[in-house]
Structure formats: C-alpha cells, structure tokens
Amino acid sequence: MDDNFLQSTLKSGLFDIGDSDDRLKWLQQSVTDLVKFLKKNYTLLPKYSLVALDPNISEKEPVLIEVEEIVTKYWKALRGKYSDMPRSIHRGVILNALMELGSEDPVAARIIYLTSSNFYPYAKLGKENHLVRTLLTELGEIAEKNAVEEWSLIEEEPKLRLGILKIDNLQFGKIELDDEIVRSKLNEALSNSPSGHGPNHGLHQPQYKEHFKEKTTEAITQSFDSAFSDLNKALNPTAIEDPINKFFTAFKKSLDQNLKSSFASILAVERRSKLLWWKETLYSPSLRKSYREVPQPILPIVMGSDLNEQVAEITPISVDYLLRDTLLILNEKKGEKIKFKDFFYSLTKNSTKSEVTNLLPEINDSDGRISVTDFIILFLNEKAKLKDFTERTGIKQDDEVSSEDLSVTIFHDLLTKRLSSK
C-alpha cells in the first residue's frame, strides 16, 4: 500500500478514525481484501471508480454495501460508531484500493484513469479533491507511459545478437584397425580357391582371381566396420547436440525480438496513418457517409464510437486531442456547451435516435452508478428516462458539456469496456 496516499487519505478526513491504530490497521486490511477482489473482477473497476469520486453517492449504492461487508470483517463495531452509511470511509477504502491496483498494472491504471477523468469535472469534491487529483495524475502517467510504448516508433537499427557456436569437451577414443581380422582374411585370400587354384597358378586364372578379390574385400570391409563401430561408441551425441541446440535457441530468440520490434514499428506507423486518413476524409465507416451529413446531436456519439472501432484498447492521450480537433472542424459553434438535459432532448428529435441506437454496444442494466455512455445506451433503447440521469450518473441535468468533451467521454467509456472485459 502507498503510505503517502494513505496519509493523504487521513488528512483529507475520509478516514475518521481518531487516534486508533487498530482502526487504521482494519482499514488497511480492508484495502488489501478489496484489491484482491478487484483483481479478479476488472469489469467492476469503472463502477467502483465512479462511486469513489462522488461524495453524494446514494447510501443504497450496491458498491458501498459490498465494501461495507469487507470493512466490517475487521472493524466489527463500525455501525456502532456510525449509524448512517459511512460513505467517506468506504470511498477512502476504494480510492486506496484503486491506487494500489493501478500502480501495479497499467491496464487497471488506464481503466481507472479513463473512467475517473470523465466524471471528475462534475464531481463535487471537498477536502479529498487533492487526493483524487493525485490518483488521476499518477495513474494517468502510468497509463500514458504504457500507451506511448505501444505506439512508439523504434529508431534503433535491428541487430541480431548471436553467440559463437563452440563445442567443448568433444573427444574421440583411440581408433585402430583390427590386425587379426586383416591378417586372417588375407591368409584366406592367399590360400587356394575352392576350385583348387592357388597363388602358384597366378592371378590371371579367373577362378583364383575371383577368390582373391572376394577375400581381400572382406578383409578391408570387416576391419573398417570394426574400426567405425569403435568410433561410434567413442562419440557422445549430447556433446554435439547440446551446443548446437543452444546456439539455435539463442538465434531464434534474437530473431524473434528483432521481428517483434520491427512489427511494432510497422504497426505504430499503420495506426497513425489510419487515424490521419480518418481525420482527412471525415468519413464515418459505421454510417458509410461523411460526418458532414451526420446530424449535430449525434455527431459526438458517432465519432466517439467510430474512433473506438479503429484503435487499439491502449491509446495515448494524443488520440483524445485528434478526436477533439476533428470535431472542431465539423462544429460551427466551436467549444459551445450544452446542458445534458438539452442533449438528451435533441436525441429524441426526428431520425437522429434511430441512426445511432445500433452503433453502441448492448449492456445489461444493473443497479447503482453507471457511466454517461451506459446511460445514453439505456436512454436510446428506452430503458431509462431523463429523470433518472442524476441518480444513475451523479451528474446534474443542468451541468454543461461541449460536443468535444462528450465525444471524448464516450470514447473513453467504450475503451474501458474493451479493456475491462479482457
């Protein structure tokens, strides 16, 4: 656990424990348990992040109830001290768990950062504002560093690093021709042939000539066979195989690393080129028409969704700015903000609702806090009403958002769905 972050939590007043070291220990144990739980359930990270950032979260919020079950395993008399739901304590436990998990895993850091940065502009934070800013800053840096590595162009010239093929301790035993075999067979060759012809008749006699060739050949063959048999016994196969296998294993590893680096650079170039082409053409691959033909109310949704379909789950923050800049090209009222209630009202107009409904993924509605994008999906599918917006998202209907910010929010939410589902 990050001691500095824990101390900041104490200073913020979220952990109201007085001078009790036992209570602090219990909360630390609760954080540890929650980290273990969230490691197994990345799909819950967005919901937990949204709850942690909202001081006014409902006491009936399922996430708070789940966290209280963890806390009361250690702090058994919690409700004896707090008759109402101790939201600040539970939010402090969540924030510390998110910080610990995000510090360990850049994917978790990205999910937490994208979700939290979407809601942060609308959060009504008090003394814990500094704590949340620290969370966003540190996890944002971890996420960005990881994304830059994924998208970086490798300028170093690939080089194969190979060792020297060296065979040590390879020894041959003493190899000799068997004199007895040679002597015995040559004696047979010099003796009479079965037909009675011998050396005294001369090699010009066919019968003796064939006999001589056969026996001398046998002498040479058998003596060399015996010698090579001894040679095979003297050789140790592993003395040759092991260094050769080791050499080619190192060769393959070096080759794989170079190929991986080269492929990563090619992929990074392709990603960048695709995004620049998307911005240049202003073409919607989902609607199959120019963004200039898309009604303004749904343009942030369409562009956020289209961009999500074209990039990897891990993207640098510069992609957010590409989305913003592309929207500014299309938006005559640059930077103008609209109230959320007016945005949702505009979605019900004419054919805009039908055009965008099928672009967003289906979701299973669950109780508790949800993202803006999830609410948009439920609203478009007539599973939620505008009056539920504040309760479900923590954002007031009269809060304002620009078209660019809304599109980035939708883009972030869709990325987190992909990241958390893996």
Q: What's the whole-number mean pLDDT along residues 171-191?
A: 58
**Lowest mean pLDDT, pick from 52-66, 182-196, 289-303, 365-379:** 182-196
How far is Cα 325 from Cα 310, in angstroms, rounded to an integer? 17
Token couple for 308: 């999500």
Q: What is the pTM of this model?
A: 0.75
Higher-pLDDT residue of 326, 230: 326
Q: What's the whole-number mean pLDDT along residues 361-385?
A: 91
Contact 134, 8 (CB under 8 A): yes
Higher-pLDDT residue of 255, 29: 29
> Which positions ≥6 away from 239 have C-beta within 8 Å?
167, 168, 169, 170
- Residue-wise pLDDT for 160-169, tens only, equals 565 665 555 5
In the 8-state DSSP scheme, what is residue 401? Answer: E
User: Is the predicted pLDDT of residue 38 greater than 60, yes or no?
Assistant: yes
Q: Output the CA–CA distances (angstroms, integers) from residue 75 to 72, 95, 101, 286, in the order listed.
A: 5, 18, 23, 52
Domain boundaries, the chain: 3-151, 179-235, 282-421
